[in-house]
Amino acid sequence: MFRSLTPVVRALLYSNLIVFAAQSLTGDTLTDLFALWPWNSRSLYGAPPFEPWQIVSYAFLHANLLHIFSNMLALYMFGPDSERVLGSRRFTQYYFACVVGAALTQMLVMSRVDPGPSPTVGASGGIFGVLLFYGMAFPHRRILLLFPPIPMPAWLFVTLYGVFELVQGVFGTTQGVAHFAHLGGLATGSLLILYWRRRRPPDL
């Protein structure tokens, strides 16, 4: 099963799983240090402070088993083909650009709505960027979801998922989920793809 993995996807899977195991052994220690905290979390709430490295490190932490399972499953399903198209170096740049874009979007939105000192964790910003690229690189490839079990082309899946996240984020119908971080990953990925296409059209 893992023989089909590409180098960067394999490294991301292993590192996320190792960090999650460390989280289970250390309690809140890693969350306090490496989750993405609001920029004013300490001054206003006495919570752990924001640090610059958190805009990347938060993407290696996860809230629970279901959280990491869903993210790593998506990375396993859509990451290798995306890495083969982009190449390992560019895929790495793309993934972490989406992670950072998701973090900045989440921080900006949360500074406006002031929800309190809640940390953000998870690889979803990078994963949503990978989903976007996959949908653009393989728009007509069929995807069969677990729920609902309806096959659909990749472009439609990505579009519907993006709309779903936007609605969820605006209306706040699912608490505890960083919907705007997901949208930030999508937006960053789309901008980076557009930039690459303008520079070197044959690549994408």
Contact 75, 92 (CB under 8 A): no
Distance CA 185, CA 128 (A): 6
- Write a three-state SS string for 11-69: HHHHHHHHHHHHHHHHCCHHHHHHCECCCCHHHHHCCCCCCCCHHHHHHHCCCCHHHHH
Arithmetic mean of pLDDT over the chain: 84
**Which CATH number covers residue 32?**
1.20.1540.10
Distance CA 186, CA 158 (A): 10
Please tell me the total count of domains within the chain: 1
173 pLDDT band, cuts 50/70/90, is: very low
Distance CA 122, CA 45 (A): 22
| Domain housing 11 | 2-203
Contact 169, 179 (CB under 8 A): yes
Burial string for 90-118 (b: 16+ CB within 10 Å, else e) reads bbbebbbbbbbbbbbbbbebbeeeeeeee
pLDDT over 80 at 174, yes or no: no
| pLDDT value, residue 169 | 52
pLDDT tens readout for residues 131-167: 999 999 999 998 877 666 788 898 888 888 777 766 6
What amino acid is encoded at 159 in this protein? T
107/97: higher pLDDT = 97
pLDDT tens readout for residues 29-86: 898 899 998 877 655 555 688 899 999 999 999 988 988 998 898 899 899 999 999 9
What is the DSSP code (8-state) at residue 145? Answer: -
Whole-model pTM?
A: 0.86
What angle separates helix 124-137 from helix 179-199, to the nearest 10 degrees? Answer: 40
pLDDT over 50 at 124, yes or no: yes
